[in-house]
Amino acid sequence: MRVQVAILGGGPSGLALARLLGLAGVEAVVLERRDRAHVLSRIRAGVLEWGSADLLRAAGVGARMDAEGQVHDGTVLASDGTATRIDFRDLVGRSVMVYGQTEVTRDLCEALDRDGPRVIHGAEVVAVEGLEDARARVIWQDQAGARHEVAADWVAGCDGFHGAGRRTMAAGPLKAFERVYPFGWLGVLTERPPASAEVLYARHDRGFALASMRNPRLSRYYIQVPEGTRAEAWSDDAFWDELRRRLPTETAEALRTGPALEKSVAPLRSYVGEPMRRGRLFLCGDAAHIVPPTGAKGLNLALGDVRLLAEALIPACLSGDLAGVEAYSARALDRVWQAERFSWWMTTLMHLFPESGAFGLRMQRAELAHLARSRAARQALAEAYTGVSL
């Protein structure tokens, strides 16, 4: 097979890139290791920056998002029984869209099924070669064990932290920056109306809690748990009891509990790999960077990469203009580090760190009090939360 762009990974970033390239007339193919059902079963992020929503609209996959998604004009930070609302619309004139990553993926899949480019499921990429040659080669294996090769002018690694894209990049001059946090998030998805009208972050001396939602009938809740915690060690009742302790009283009283449709523990880490380009290979999303979910940046950061990479690859493929290709890594990393900073700050502000002690707790309270009193501080938070601009 011969294409202009081979895309590794059929998650939202790989599918979004394929869609943008296809609309521009660039020949591409997506190689995804898992089957469609598995891809659509991943329950991940649910908050889209307005720029991400606009990107999906530009890709022609925003109709269902606009019909079913929830526009949120703010978020709430709570601590010690008090809550501060961050009014995005008033502070920065922007909003966010609550629309699950699973739904974004479904919309992109349907568009590619209808219009192309082709998505090949069950394709295990075993090697990416020829990155410094006139054409790259992607070697992949199907579920029957047969080996195949795709020749491509460019390769986009959108296949996550453990994928072939990052492994190939790591064989070159990749420099990694990482922090692993000593806790995780125990999350429960339940078919009940949300306890809070907007996403609510709660700092508590017992640990962090988050009240979120996927739609008006489906709620997502998290509590901070020690590193190494197993989800099956927590009963539903134990989770709801602990969540109530950490939420503000009014929110806890509004909480409607139900059976856990999904329960899992997500470890938290900050990671950046530099550069994001090696020859004919580019990285997007989790293949290049990971943020703790506190700032709602993971999917948004990946879609930002996609936008920049599409802007680089379309002229490179259609007219041979390589200016965007040469600038991609530096441009993407500038935005990545801004999102990493915000996600790290939010995580530090709202979580219980074992090593912080009494001083650390007082500093968190002082910072939250500053946010409550200072419009400028709230404005800076709102600007970062709704979207980091280049």
Q: What's the CATH code of the domain at 380?
A: 3.30.9.10
User: How is residue 27 written in tokens?
Assistant: 């020949």
Residue 214: which pLDDT band, with cuts at 50, 70 and 90?
confident
Residue 169: which pLDDT band, with cuts at 50, 70 and 90?
very high
| Residue 372 counted as domain residue | yes
Is the pLDDT reported for residue 243 higher than 50? yes
Q: Are 5 and 156 spatial neighbours (Cβ–Cβ below 8 Å)?
A: yes
What does pLDDT average to over the chain? 95
| Helical axes 375-386 vs 323-350, angle rounded to 10° | 130
User: What per-residue confidence (pLDDT) applies to 39?
Assistant: 87
User: What per-residue confidence (pLDDT) applies to 389?
Assistant: 55
User: What per-residue confidence (pLDDT) applies to 40?
Assistant: 85
Choosing from 204, 289, 297, 351, which is the catalytic residue? 297
Contacts of 103 (CB under 8 A, 6+ apart): 64, 65, 68
Averaged pLDDT for residues 269-279: 97
User: How is residue 278 written in tokens?
Assistant: 């090696």
Cα(268)–Cα(42) distance, integer angstroms = 17
The answer on 366 and 231 residing in a single domain is yes
Q: Are 338 and 388 spatial neighbours (Cβ–Cβ below 8 Å)?
A: yes
Averaged pLDDT for residues 197-205: 96
CA dihedral 48, 291, 308, 377 (to 10 degrees): 70
For residue 328, indicate whether it is catalytic.
no
Averaged pLDDT for residues 372-389: 93
Number of domains in the chain: 2
Choosing from 201, 221, 222, 328, which is the catalytic residue? 201
Query: Residue 266 belongs to what H/E stretch?
Result: strand 260-274
For residue 297, indicate whether it is catalytic.
yes
Averaged pLDDT for residues 259-277: 96
Is the pLDDT reported for residue 299 higher than 50? yes
For residue 385, indicate whether it is catalytic.
yes
User: What per-residue confidence (pLDDT) applies to 80?
Assistant: 86
Which residue segment(s) compose the domain that 112 sits in?
Answer: 2-72+95-178+268-347
Beta bridge partners of 177: 272
| Residue 77 counted as domain residue | no
State phi, psi for 309 to the nearest 5 degrees: -70, -40
The answer on 123 and 52 residing in a single domain is yes
